[in-house]
Amino acid sequence: MEDVLDLYAEPNDPDVPRVCFDECPYQMLDHVREPLPAQPGKSQRVDYEYEREGTCNLFLFLEPTLGWRHVEVTKRRTKQDFAAAMKELVDVHFPSAPKIRVVLDNLNIHTPASLYEAFEPEEARRIARRLEFHYTPKHGSWLNMAEIELSVLARQCLAQRLPSMEKLREVIHPWQRGRNAHRVQVRWRFTTADAREKLHRLYPSSS
């Protein structure tokens, strides 16, 4: 826990970005009957019946101090998908950064080993050398600021029925562009000192 909190407290270094990473499943749904459009004095009316269209996965990157985020919609959440996301982070989003410090939870696919399962050893090592993983503790995923951004995404974009990955991207991309254009930041206030005071019961004790 303190490793992540200390990382958040460090001064910004444009050469070594801090990126929070998280993912969540998404259930795609379609209407059985088309909604009735909104009219003066009446909101849109949606029938309670819906049709399931399968599931997909959302990967979210967040650089909270720069106000930058990126959401990738994928079919699955496998080691290969995670490895592809890390390659994109290194080669596309921060190609000039010698090191990227990534905050993520302890999911079993969130390891350098996933890179070696997806790529040849030389390529896996090239990507791994650019990444520095900082893991949130078990039951402490709330320490990952990417969870906050996923919550905003869910409230502002996903509270509707979206039947396909294409429709999902059509909704997410404008939201992403708008928040990036306004450089919407996450201002983290919980510190290591706060953790020692308020979560002292979680610390080992000699007694």
Please tell me the predicted confidence (pLDDT) of residue 140.
Answer: 87
**pLDDT above 60 (res 207):** no
The two tokens of residue 176 are 């992403």
Would you say 61 and 193 are in contact if contact means Cβ atoms under 8 Å apart? Answer: no
Question: Is residue 111, in this structure, part of any structural domain at all?
Answer: yes
Please tell me the predicted confidence (pLDDT) of residue 153.
Answer: 97
Question: Is residue 86, in this structure, part of any structural domain at all?
Answer: yes
Q: What is the pLDDT of residues 128-148, one digit of tens each?
A: 999 999 999 988 889 999 999
Question: Is residue 42, in this structure, part of any structural domain at all?
Answer: no
What share of the chain has pLDDT > 70, as a percent? 93
pLDDT band at 65 (very low <50, low <70, confident <90, very high): very high
| Cα→Cα distances 108→4, 60, 104, 111, Å | 19, 17, 11, 7
Q: What is the mean pLDDT of residues 68-84?
A: 97
The CATH number that applies at residue 60 is 3.30.420.10
Output the DSSP codes for the chain: -HHHHHHHHSPP-TTS-EEEEEEEEEEEEEESSPPBPPBTTB--B--S-EEEEEEEEEEEEEETTTTEEEEEEES---HHHHHHHHHHIIIIISTT-S-EEEEE---TT-SHHHHHHHS-HHHHHHHHHTEEEEEPPTT-GGG-HHHHHHHHHHHHTSSS---SHHHHHHHHHHHHHHHHHTT--------HHHHHHHSGGGS----
Question: Is residue 8, in this structure, part of any structural domain at all?
Answer: yes
Question: Is residue 61, in this structure, part of any structural domain at all?
Answer: yes
Specify the range with the lowest mean pLDDT, choosing from 6-10, 119-123, 139-143.
139-143
Question: Is residue 19, in this structure, part of any structural domain at all?
Answer: yes
| Number of structural domains the chain divides into | 1
Specify the range with the lowest mean pLDDT, choosing from 71-80, 96-105, 117-126, 133-142.
133-142
Question: To the nearest whole number, what is the mean pLDDT of the chain?
Answer: 91
Angstrom distance (rounded) from CA 32 to CA 62: 36
**pLDDT above 90 (res 39):** no
**Which residue in 24, 85, 59, 52 sits closest to 164, CA to CA?**
52
Q: What is the pLDDT of residues 160-206, one digit of tens each?
A: 889 999 999 999 999 999 999 999 999 999 999 988 888 877 777 76
Angstrom distance (rounded) from CA 115 to CA 37: 47
Question: Is residue 24, in this structure, part of any structural domain at all?
Answer: yes
Q: What is the mean pLDDT of residues 42-53?
A: 72
CA angle 183, 186, 192 (to 5 degrees): 145
What share of the chain has pLDDT > 90, as a percent? 74
Question: Is residue 205, in this structure, part of any structural domain at all?
Answer: no
Specify the range with the lowest mean pLDDT, choosing from 8-22, 37-51, 132-146, 155-169.
37-51
The reported pTM is 0.88
Q: In what order do the strands lie in the sheet with 50-63?
A: 68-74, 50-63, 18-31, 100-104, 131-135
Domain containing residue 100:
2-32+48-196
